[in-house]
Each structure stands twice: as structure tokens, then as C-alpha cells.
Chain A
Amino acid sequence: MKDNNSSRRKFLKLGLAAGATALIGGGGKVLSAVSNPGQASGETGEKVKLLSPDGTLVEVDKGHCHACPATGKEARQGIPNKKMVMVIDLARCRNARKCLEGCQSMHHLPPKIEWIKFFLLRDSKDTSPYWFPKPCFQCNNPPCVKVCPVGATFKRTDGIVLIDNDRCIGCKFCMAACPYSSRVFNWGSPDQEPLPADKKYSPETSWPQKVGTVGKCDFCPDMVRQGKLPSCVTSCPNGVYFYGDKNEDTVTNGTETVRFSEIVQQRAAYRYMEELGTEPGVYYLPPVNRLFDYKVGFQDLKPEEIQLYKKEANLSE
């Protein structure tokens, strides 16, 4: 066990980040193996491609892939030279809620834990309501991080705000501080699929959730390390979510890949409640030229839910 750990540590020190894009040869050469992770036991023989911090693709044994999500100090630092952003196209959202389902299955969450929330917003009585899916905004000036008494929630260089469930004392101050109600609390047991014995807890996977601690959307840094898109992005049937690295000036919803600066400038993107000074990392494209009428979003809802939404949005009919 000890050997296993130390080799994992060594492996981590290599600073391997993820990125198995591999589709188009990427920016680099494909190496056959990383400087001898083969010494370690538990190899499967299968190879997985990962992106190293300097941008080259490397291939490692799949048996080491549990090292993909960083743990410990490394998880607090962030993936080097990245700045993750999200662009949400409100014109395409019809409240299908597939993103939430994807999120829950990816993070092994039971239906009662919702990290993405859906609002029917209406800016004024004269305007039309629109659906507003809301992940954690990963603010650049995060009020939640400021108030944490133990540094259990932290802002990383890659722009992601994470929670260390092993450190959180459950004071809920971060929840009070978050103006966007993005955080949820594990009031009771999370009733979650347990972490396999060979895997280690990492704030990057947010799995497992622990009773008496805070949880939230984590922007899936473990997926970023593997060059994969978060589940909310890939499971959205309408391509609402664009995710990407601001340092690459590129965001993608899985099918379309666009320049971040172009899409936010041309489509007048805004950040929700910018006036609070939180500097969110999630941009919204205004709901103009919509693909769906907002009423389409009611079709999968329960009657009492529809009533609640209508009440909050001041809809009479």
C-alpha cells in the first residue's frame, strides 16, 4: 500500500494534467509512456492519454488514472495556465433539465442533491420570462471563499472554486455569503454510491459528499484534466452550455466550437448581477431570437411546480 502511495505521489509530481482530446494530434507529440510509471504495481496495460502542464500529450497506464484528479495541495492550486469559463446561451434553454441529470450521474449524486438550479426569470412585468439554468458561477472575487474560516473552500489559479469536504466544518457561512444560492448543504447522509476502496477523495471530483459539509457545482476539474467536457455540457440536448479555457479563447458545447471573445462580444453576453462585484466566471447570452417559447419548459413539470414558477415570475395565466 505504501509503495502504491509513493508511486502515485511520484506520478503526481510529474504534474500530469489531463487532455485526451487526441482527435487532431493536439499540440504535441504522443509519448509512449511517462518516465516509468511502470515501476508501480496495478498496471492494466491499457493506455490513457493525458495532457501534461506544458501542453504535450502523454500516455499513461489506465491503472494510474485514479491519480487524474489531483489531491492534497495540488488540488488547491489548479491546473496551470488555464482559466475555465462557461457561456450559457439562454436563447436555447427550454428547461429540459438534462444537464442536472448528467451532473447527478457523473457526481454520483442522488436526485435530492441539485447542484444546477433552474429559474424562470422575468426582468420586469413588460418583458417575457425566460429559463435560467444556474451552475456555480466560480466567481473571481468569491464572497464564499473570503468568509470561510478554515480555508475549506478556495479559489484556484484555473478560476475554479472548490470545496475540501475533509476540511469543511459545516458552519455554512459560505452559503450565507453566496448571493447566488449556489451552495447546498448535506443536512443528512448524502445517500450516495460509496467511493471505491482504491480511489482517494479529491476536492476535484467532489465525491463522496459528506454529511454536515457543503457541496456545490465544481466545474469538473477532473474532467478538464482528462480533456473531457463536464457532463452538463455534453448532456444538454440543445447545446446551451459552452465550456472552455479563457486562456485559449475557446469555448465548446460539444458540437460547436467558437471563440470565447467573439461569442461574448457579438451576442452581448452578461454576467448575472455583475453589480455585486463578484466577477462571475459564467457568462450568459441574452434570451433573444429564442429557439423555444418559455412555455415549452413547463411540459415536464408537476402542476404545483408550474404554479410556483408562475407565481415567482408574476405570470397570471
Chain B
Amino acid sequence: MEYNSKTYKNYETFKPQLESIGRYGYFFITAMVMIIAWGTYALYTQLSKGQVVTGMRDYVIWGIYDANFIFFIGISYAGALISGILHLLRVEWRHPILRMAETITVISTLIGPSYIFLSMGRLERVWHLFVYGRIQSPIVWDVIAISTYLIGSFIFLYLACVRDLAFMRDHPIGIGRWRNRIYKFMSANYRDTPKQRELLNQLIDLISIVIIPLAILVHSVLAWIFGMTLRPGWHSTIFAPYFVLAAVYSGTGVLILVMFVFRKIYHLEAVITKNHFNYLGILLMILGALYGYFTFSEYLTNWYGSVKWDMEVLYRLFDASTYWWWFFFSAFIGVLLPIGLIAMPRLRNINTIVFAALIAVTALWVKRYLIIIPTLETPLLPLHDLRPEFASYSPSWVEWSLTAMGIAIWLLLFFLFSKFLPIVPVVRVPVSEERDYFKLRKLARERILRRLISKTRKEKNVVVGIVILMILSSSLVCRAQDPVKSRLKLEFLNKSGTRMLTTKLTSKKDDQTIPLQGMQVSFFIQGEKDKVLLGKESTDEAGKATFTLPGKLDVPRNKEGKYSYSATYEGSKEFQPSESSTEIRDVFMKITFSQKDSSKLINLFAVEINQKGDSIPIEGSTVIFYVPRTFSSLKIGEQAVKSGHADLDFPVTLPGDSAGNLPVVAKFEDNDNYGSAEVSATMAWGKPLPPDVIIKRGLGDTNAPLWMVYTLIVLLSLVWFHFTYAIITIFRIRWLGNKALKEEQAQIGSK
């Protein structure tokens, strides 16, 4: 395989960078490792203590972790969109910056999602997403989209590296055998045979096409996490395109910064020229203008419509005591300054463009912060929380440390990658093989601009609230241990013929009635001479004890036709004894139902039993009708009983069970003569209850709507078809290379 002289010249520039790390390099690595170690400690703190160590609380549930997440996914656009589009448009100057852009994509897509994990309360349950995942949730869309995007951008980066890997394989460097082995393994036997070259070019074009819609989708889905909620400032239809634009804007900015840094440290002035900065600067300017347009449109619409909650978020953004200076920086400086610096040819030079990019990137990080926090600090219901950390957010040291850690890992990975492969492609594809569609006009002029320093810092009012947890009451002081009075209340209940005695045993403590549990209560009935013991029951946690009377009582009724019941509590060391009694006349009740014309009636028949045991129709007592319900009884009416009869309209409008069965109860309540006596009966005259409707598919159900399932399947199969094709083709290239090598060897052998 042959390489032209330009390739060798390129390689000479990078060889020293690949072979040694250098003093500054070691210093840099040490610094980054120290930051990462510190971040690991912060991570350990968070994992062991929970998210209580962050500044996030119930209202501001997401913080800078999520801002970082959007930020990193945003800058990943550098590779996907910029390099994808530049490649497809065959822009001539793209070659030196392609690899940087693609590396930004891969590394950022690795770092970004880890912030989502940090923002999760239960990191160890991540696998639940795969076991229980619901595709109705935008978070699941995100998981699918970002993982696909990561694989796609990795393939994209790899394809663009194959030629260089092959070159490195053919020109082993001095240090490290393992590196040469990796080069050999990863170069996929690429020998630049015509067939291999054709396949590789085709693959790069294909993946560039696939990666662009994928990238757009990734950031749209990210925006929809916010857009799908009903929150002011988030629930916006332009959120997806707005996020996409913001992402390209910041991605371009980061690319310019990366170019600048590598140009400086690796002395790449000959490769990365002023023109590269100019071209990307102009792109940055255009994107800035578009981004500004979206920002203006979003806030103008909110302000003009002046819905209460939208306005509350706007007040926060425009109030100097809250977010105005941050907002000013991100929406005004961050847009107007880059545009102004780049638009004017007199001001435009490498330094100003880099400065503009720096401003744009910082402003966009602030923008992400301003998307998340002010909205969360403005709940729809007023925020009445005395705890200052609940009312407003400020990141804790843990969050800052982990943010620093993410940036450190990003920088370190980038640095290490640039030590592994030349950061600028060494092997160039001859221009003649590609078609050029597009050329940007050359623009150049250098001037120096005064440095602008703009420091904005938000001061927050810290309200200190002291929460008193316990007030010890003086009543806890012990007093003399005299037995306390107890109180027993006996009630009689006749339930459809079953007679019961119920008691409630209570005592008073500090003016509060407390039930006495586990106490023995004895039940008696008055015999001819003495009290006869019926039985003993112990009280439950409500202080109640119930005794069911036998069907037949072997004692005579008194003169009034009544039985005399009593209950006693014998007392203990702590409580004095108490007793209670009641006299009850037995009743017999029966409910029947009758229908006359259109009226449906409940008919009660009630008689009392006299001394001799004869039945006498009840006269005058009030009977109450109920319908029993889950928690209590619904009163449907009351009637005075006349010569043993009482009628009431059946409550036909009340729902019964699925067949319309509705139980009704007629009851004498705490009657002087009868105690509580009741009878119940059921009739199917209620409103039939329709069966539970179980919706199988929907946004809130276990299974997703079918259109969603189909959309997901179609999208994923489209993307994965291309990815699979790419992977298979890589193996084909490998096989073709092997074949070519064997033929070569055979030729040499035959000679």
C-alpha cells in the first residue's frame, strides 16, 4: 500500500505527539486524575447518603446534573451534524477538523447520559428500564435514542479512522507493542484496494446521512422530557427545534474551542488554518442568529399571552434579585456578542472567534440552567415552604465536584485519544474522488479586540429558618399512682334477630378519652332474684367488647316486658372498677318490598314482645332506613312506625352491585325500649353498576398505544438496518484485505 508524500508530511507533524506525552502532558493528566478522584469521593458521598447531599429538593427536583446532561448532549452535535453535513456537502476544508468533531460527539455522548444517572435516586435499579420499560415515557425514548446515537457516532468515528489506523499499522511507532497490535486489529485489513476504498467511501456517506436525523431526534426527545410536562416555560411546542438549534450552536462553539486548543498545543498552524476559524465562525454566527430568533419567539409569545404561570417564570427571569443577570448573559450577551464579533470583518480574527465561541458555549450552559431551575421554582400552586433549600436551588459541593469530574473526564479522554491517533486525519482521500458542491468565500482580516470580562453572579437571599422539632410537655412528669376512673358504656344491639351486648371501656387522661385495651368485661342478665353471669369478653384496641346472646334466654322478662342487662369491669391497679346497665324490650322486625304502579316501596313490619312472649305491633317509635356502604351507612329516610308498619320509597337512584342489588337496613336507634335493633334485606332495584372498564393501551397504561409501538419499531429498524449493514461491510472490507494480502504473497511466492 502506498501513501503520498503529503501523508508522510502530515505524519511527521504528529509522530512526536503520539510517541511521547511530555512534561505538560503528565502534569495535565495528574491534574485531571486528581479532579476525577475528588469527584469519585463526591460520587461516593452521594451514593452512600442519598441525594440529600445535593442542592435539589422537592420543588427543584432537577439541578445542574440535568443542565450538564443537556449541555453535553448538545455539544455532541459538533460531530454528528456539523461533520455529517460538511461531509455530505463535500466541503473541501473539512478534513482537518472532522476527527475532532466526531471525537467530541463520541466522548460527549458518553459523559452526558452519566449525569442522568447521577440525577437518579436509585442508580442500582437502572436495569428496571430494560425489564419494566414503558415506551410511553420520554425517558425511555431518551434511553433508546441516546444509546442508538452513541453506537452510530462511534461507527461514524471509527469509519473515519480506518485509513489512519491502516497507516499506523504499516508504520509502527517506537513505543508500545500493544498499540501496534490495536492498530493492526482495528485497521480491518484495510489495504486501499479499489473495492475496499469504494466500500469505505460508501459507508461513510451512508452513516453521515443516518446520523443527521438521528442526532436531531436525540435532542428533540431530550426537549420532550420537558415539553411533555404541564409546566410553564417547558410546555412549549417549539421546544424540540429550539433545543436542536441550541445544541448545534453550542456544538459549533465547542468545536472552535477544541480546534484552538489543539492548534496551540500541537502546533498545527499549518493544518488548521485561519480559514477554518473563519468558516466555522460564520457558521456560529448564523446559528447564533437563528438561536436568538427562537429565543425571542419563545419569550415574546409567553409574554404576550401573559398566562399567569408563564408570567411568573418570566418575572423570575427578568427580576434582578433572581435570574435577570444570568438571563441577560445567556439570551443577550450569549447571542449578540458572538454575532457582533464575527459579523464585522474588522473585528474578526482567530482570537475573537474563539472568544465568541467561549461566550456562546458558556451562555448555552447558563441557558440550560435557566430552562430547568426557574421553571421548577415556579410550581403551579404557591410554594409555601419555610425550608430555604426547598424554596430555591443552589448546587451543593457534590454537584459542582461531579460537574468538574465530568469535564475532567471529557478533557482527559480527548487528550488520551489525541495520543492514540493523530487528531487530524493523516491519510487524505484524494479530492478527485469526491464531488464538491460547495465552497465558502474566503474572508480574512485580523484585528485584536479588547478582552471583555463579564462576571455575573447571582446572589441569593438565604433565609434561615429554625424548625422546632419537639416540645416537651409538663404532663410527662410523673404523678402519684392512684387508680384512675374508668367508664363503661353498655349498648344493646339486635341485628337481624341476633342479640348482642357491646361495651366500650374508656378512661380519661389529660382531658382525653382513651380506650382501655385487653380488659376483662363480664356480662350479666337480671334473673328472678340475682344477676346471672352470661359470659366474659376482653376489650379490643378500641376498648370495645362484644358478647353475643344465646338464641333463648332462660330468665323471665320483668313487668314491663324487658330484660335487664348489665356489664361490669372489675378494675385493676391503675383503673377503678365501673359498670353499666340497660333494660331492653325485644322486638321482631321484617322488611319486605312491594311495587305499586310506578312506586317501589320498602315495607317494614315491626312488633315488640311483651311479658308473656306475645307480639304486639309497635306504635309511634321512629325507625331510620339506611343503605350500608363501605365506610358507613347512608341514611335514606325515617318514619314513625304506625301499628307495626312503616313504608319508605326505595332509593332507586342509588347504585347497587352489577345486578342492581341494594341492601337496605331499618333500624331503631338507641331506642329507650328496644336499644338498637335492626333488620336488613336486599332487593335488585338499585342502579346496576357497570363493570370496571380496563383500558389496555394508552399513555397511562401498561401497554403503549399501537401507533407508538409501530413508530418505534419502524424507526429503530431503519437505523439498525444501516448500522448492521455498516458492521457487516466492515467485516467485508476486512475479508477483502485478507484476500488481497494473500494474493500479494502468492505473487511474491511465484516470482
Contacts and interface: CB of A to CB of B under 8 A. Distances in A.
A binds B: yes
Contacts of B691: 81
A198 to B, nearest CB: 18
B658 interface: yes
Interface string A128-159: 00000010000001110111111110110100
A212 B122 contact: yes
Contacts of A201: none
A91 interface: no
B133 A149 contact: yes
A181 interface: yes
Contact of B626 (A24, A248, A308, A313): A24
A181 B702 contact: no
A298 interface: no
Nearest to B687: A249
A160 to B, nearest CB: 13
B633 interface: yes
Interface stretch (A6-14, A35-43, A185-193, A284-292): A185-193
B587 to A, nearest CB: 15
Given A82-B630, A146-B700, A169-B128, A185 B58 contact: yes
Contact of A172 (B119, B143, B230, B694): B119
A55 B57 CA distance: 44
Interface stretch (A63-71, A99-107, A222-230): A222-230
| Interface size, B (range) | 35 or more
| Interface size, A (range) | 35 or more
Interface stretch (B18-26, B275-283, B375-383, B503-511): B375-383
B495 interface: yes
Given A25-B496, A145-B700, A169-B120, A189 B632 contact: no
Interface in B42-67: 49-52, 54, 56-59, 61-62
Contact of A227 (B469, B631, B678): B631
A308 B121 contact: no
Interface centre among B116, B134, B231, B661 (most CB of A within 10 A): B134
Interface string A157-194: 10000000001111111011101110111111100000
A117 to B, nearest CB: 7
Nearest to B142: A149
B380 A19 contact: no
Given A173-B137, A249-B654, A257 B52 contact: no
B628 A149 contact: no
A28 B57 CA distance: 49
A280 to B, nearest CB: 13
Contacts of A169: 120-122, 125-126, 128-129
Given A149-B133, A167-B132, A24 B700 contact: no
A21 interface: yes
A111 B387 CA distance: 13
Contact of B631 (A119, A181, A243): A243
Contacts of A281: none
B663 A26 contact: yes
Contacts of B134: 148-151
Interface in B522-560: none
B173 interface: no
Interface of A is mostly: loop
Contacts of A224: 630
B379 A181 contact: yes
Nearest to B126: A169
B665 interface: yes
B469 A176 contact: no
Contacts of A257: 629, 631-635
A309 B382 CA distance: 9
Contacts of B654: 248-249, 259
Contact of B376 (A176, A186, A214): A176
Given A141-B700, A170-B120, A187 B665 contact: no
B228 interface: yes
B58 A181 contact: yes
Nearest to B140: A149
Interface in B666-684: 667, 678, 680, 682
Interface string A91-121: 0000000000000000000010000011111
B229 A147 contact: yes
Contact of A176 (B61, B116, B496, B699): B61
Interface in A274-317: 276, 278, 302, 304-305, 308-309, 312-313
Given A25-B678, A185-B121, A244-B630, A118 B384 contact: yes
Given A24-B628, A211-B121, A244-B630, A150 B128 contact: yes
A245 interface: yes
Contact of B51 (A167, A176, A212, A254): A212
Contacts of A23: 628, 632-633
A21 B120 contact: no
A268 interface: no
A250 B627 CA distance: 10
Nearest to A233: B631
B382 A121 contact: yes
Given A185-B61, A257-B634, A149 B137 contact: yes
Interface in A238-259: 243-245, 247-250, 252, 254, 257-259
A53 to B, nearest CB: 10
A21 B678 CA distance: 15
Contacts of B630: 19, 21, 51, 82, 224, 227, 244-245, 248, 250
Nearest to A272: B381
Contacts of A121: 382
Given A141-B700, A149-B137, A152-B132, 10 more contacts: A24-B633, A26-B663, A143-B230, A147-B136, A151-B702, A167-B125, A177-B228, A184-B58, A212-B120, A249-B653
Query: Ordered nearest first, which 7 A-B pairs have the shortest CB separation?
Result: A170-B121, A212-B121, A188-B52, A149-B139, A149-B137, A27-B663, A187-B52
16 contacts: A117-B384, A150-B129, A151-B702, A167-B125, A176-B61, A176-B376, A177-B230, A180-B380, A186-B50, A187-B57, A257-B632, A258-B634, A259-B634, A259-B654, A304-B386, A305-B386
Interface of A: 19, 21, 23-28, 51, 54-55, 78, 80-82, 111, 117-121, 134, 141-143, 145-152, 154-155, 157, 167-173, 175-177, 179-181, 183-189, 210-214, 224, 227-229, 243-245, 247-250, 252, 254, 257-259, 273, 276, 278, 302, 304-305, 308-309, 312-313
